[in-house]
């Protein structure tokens, strides 16, 4: 899905994929121009050896100021690794196409006042890491996006998801979702448009900083 989202440029990129949940990480961080940490079914607070290793790698990437994009789990992992805090929200699932309001004009996401994006999460960042700047949020998910300098961009939403995939994922998870939340999400995904492609050029520009 990221290949599809970033297709405008990714055909010219050399992309390596690491299944970090199998404890497979890049050997030489400096060999890369940018990193993406994607979504995951795992929680960043879970006691897995690979999550601890991921936190170490995140700190190395940030110290080297290599552009680092975190999406959903990646957003949460960056926050947790750098001193923020992530919890399983008492509010339950955040699913569907949700509007977020930007707290900072002309951020790394672009110069937008509001964005409608696809969300699919239970966990939330509830405390920002040191030196992080809040980009956007809403009443359900206060910290929906943040940045650190020009080299870290984190986003709880899924710009790479399309509506068809999201509906299939929602139906696969139906048994764990509150009925009212499920119906609201179905309605949003069937009737609303989302801005994933709108912010894609800015995500590409962010990832290409060091190329």
**Active-site positions?**
72, 158, 160
Contacts 24+ apart (CB under 8 A), 99-105: 99/138, 100/136, 100/137, 100/138, 100/141, 100/144, 100/145, 100/157, 101/136, 101/137, 101/138, 102/135, 102/136, 103/134, 103/135, 103/136, 103/137, 104/133, 104/134, 104/135
CA–CA separation, 16 and 51 (whole Å) = 19
CA–CA separation, 179 and 95 (whole Å) = 12
CA–CA separation, 171 and 164 (whole Å) = 11
């Amino acid at each position: 899905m990221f290949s599809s989202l970033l297709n405008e440029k990714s055909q010219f990129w050399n992309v390596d994929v690491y299944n970090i949940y199998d404890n497979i990480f890049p050997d030489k961080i400096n060999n890369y121009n940018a990193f993406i940490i994607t979504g995951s079914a795992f929680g960043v607070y879970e006691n897995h050896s690979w999550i601890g290793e991921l936190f170490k790698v995140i700190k190395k990437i940030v110290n080297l100021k290599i552009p680092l994009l975190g999406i959903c789990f990646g957003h949460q992992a960056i926050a947790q690794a750098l001193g923020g805090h992530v919890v399983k929200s008492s509010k339950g699932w955040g699913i569907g196409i949700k509007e977020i309001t930007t707290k900072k004009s002309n951020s790394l996401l672009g110069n937008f006042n509001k964005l409608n994006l696809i969300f699919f999460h239970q966990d939330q960042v509830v405390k920002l890491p040191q030196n992080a700047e809040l980009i956007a949020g809403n009443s359900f998910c206060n910290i929906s996006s943040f940045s650190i300098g020009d080299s870290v961009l984190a986003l709880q939403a899924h710009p790479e998801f399309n509506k068809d995939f999201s509906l299939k994922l929602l139906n696969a998870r139906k048994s764990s979702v509150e009925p009212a939340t499920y119906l609201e999400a179905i309605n949003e995904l069937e009737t609303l448009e989302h801005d994933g492609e709108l912010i894609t050029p800015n995500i590409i520009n962010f990832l290409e900083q060091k190329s």
